[in-house]
Amino acid sequence: MLSPRVWFSVRRGLSRSLSRNVGSRTSGEGRKVDIAGIYPPVTTPFTATAEVDYGKLEENLHKLGTFPFKGFVVQGSNGEFPFLTSSERLEVVSRVRQATPKDKLLLAGSGCESTQATVEMTVSMAQVGADVAMVVTPCYYRGRMSSAALIHHYTKVADLSPIPVVLYSVPANTGLDLPMDAVVTLSQHPNIVGIKDSGGDVTRIGLIVHKTQRQDFQVLAGSAGFLLASYALGAVGGVCALANVLGSQVCQLERLCLTGQWEDAQKLQHRLIEPNTAVTRRFGIPGLKKTMDWFGYYGGPCRAPLQALSPTDEEALHADFTNNGWL
């Protein structure tokens, strides 16, 4: 458990004193942190009574540690962050940090609805060891989340964050695409290093790469389903739920793309689309966790209101893996 002291110090304006550290991951020559690579967005394991199971979390990380990932995303959408208390969110990041070698990058989801809460959470995430803050778009008042509002939000967060910030656009959950003009404007902020885009529109991904080429701005695909296409358009990596179960294969796809073996990449990509859709859009986190159980990880239950899959859904999920030769 995170000590109350840390948590309270965070809440009491620590952000002010920390703001001098802006860009701490920026090297002397002004190059931003390099986030290129593959990341599994780690799930949060729960016990049967819905407590966070830190032991299982470490076991999963240990197994995932055998793949050539660039690092881990913690508290992304797949981490069920909206179901965790603030201190659970921080404790999970803290545990992952402890279980993760320093050469692996830790991207921690620190987005909240209000700008102030996001700033505080970002600062706290940095304190417990996150290397980069991944900040999802606020969305409850999506009708008012204009480019101006979002630019204001992210600028404030990036100004006050002691660690680099990655924008995070995930319309399937938020009902909101971070607008192109906001992305381009924000790419010029010295403490914003990239975007994780989960929308799946590669035309947009290509345009982001194109319009931010003078900035040192990096794009991560938010799903394995369009990973090859994203590489082809200039993305530098991906945050892929599927990497929680097919880590080796997703890393292999990365390697094939980076070494220009596009034909083999295509064949592999094809076989990953259905499994990927199954553990994301189709069956969500319950599907991902069930699959983790099959692949030797601890998946376990989700927190309510997320429900376990029905037997019929489990069968369909299984078929999406067997039909492509993965089970």
Q: Which residue numbers are catalytic?
A: 168, 196
Asked if residue 239 belongs to a known ligand binding site, the reply is: yes
Residue 9: which residues within 8 A CB-CB, separation 6 or more?
Answer: none
Q: Which residue in the set 285, 288, 292, 317 belongs to the binding site for a copy of itself (CB under 8 A)?
A: 285
Residue whose C-alpha is closest to residue 239's, from 205, 206, 197, 282: 197
- For a copy of itself, the closer of residues 71 and 168 by Cβ is 168
Distance CA 307, CA 55 (A): 23
Task: Tell whether residue 9 is a contact of a copy of itself (CB under 8 A).
Answer: no
Does residue 229 interact with a copy of itself by CB under 8 A?
Answer: yes
Q: How far, in Å, are 119, 159, 304 from residue 13 at the CA level?
A: 10, 14, 33
Q: How far apart are CA 113 and CA 119, in angstroms?
A: 11
* Closest distance to a copy of itself from the beta carbon of 296 (Å): 24
Measured between alpha carbons, how far is 193 from 216 in angstroms, rounded to an integer?
7
Of the residues 33, 128, 130, 150, which one makes contact with a copy of itself according to CB under 8 A: 150
The 3-state DSSP class for residue 291 equals helix
* C-alpha span between 23 and 1 (Å, rounded): 28
Mark the segment that binds a copy of itself (CB under 8 A) among 123-131, 161-169, 183-191, 208-216.
208-216
Q: Which stretch binds a copy of itself (CB under 8 A): 32-40, 60-68, 261-269, 288-296?
A: 261-269
Examine residue 207 and tell whether it contacts a copy of itself (CB under 8 A): yes
Out of 17, 47, 98, 116, the residue judged to bind a copy of itself by CB under 8 A: 116
Q: What is the CA radius of gyration of the chain?
A: 19
Greatest extent of the chain over all pairs of C-alpha atoms, in Å: 56
Q: Is 12 in the site for a copy of itself (CB under 8 A)?
A: no
Q: Which residues contact 162 (CB under 8 A, 6 or more apart)?
A: 18, 19, 21, 22, 24, 123, 126
Q: Does the protein bind a copy of itself through residue 305 (CB under 8 A)?
A: yes
Query: Of 60-89, which residues contact a copy of itself (CB under 8 A)?
Result: 77, 82-83, 85
**Residues near a copy of itself (CB under 8 A):** 50, 77, 82-83, 85, 113-117, 138, 140-146, 148-150, 152-153, 156, 172-175, 200-203, 206-207, 209-210, 213, 223, 225-226, 228-229, 232-234, 260, 262, 265-266, 269-271, 273-274, 277, 281, 284-286, 303-307
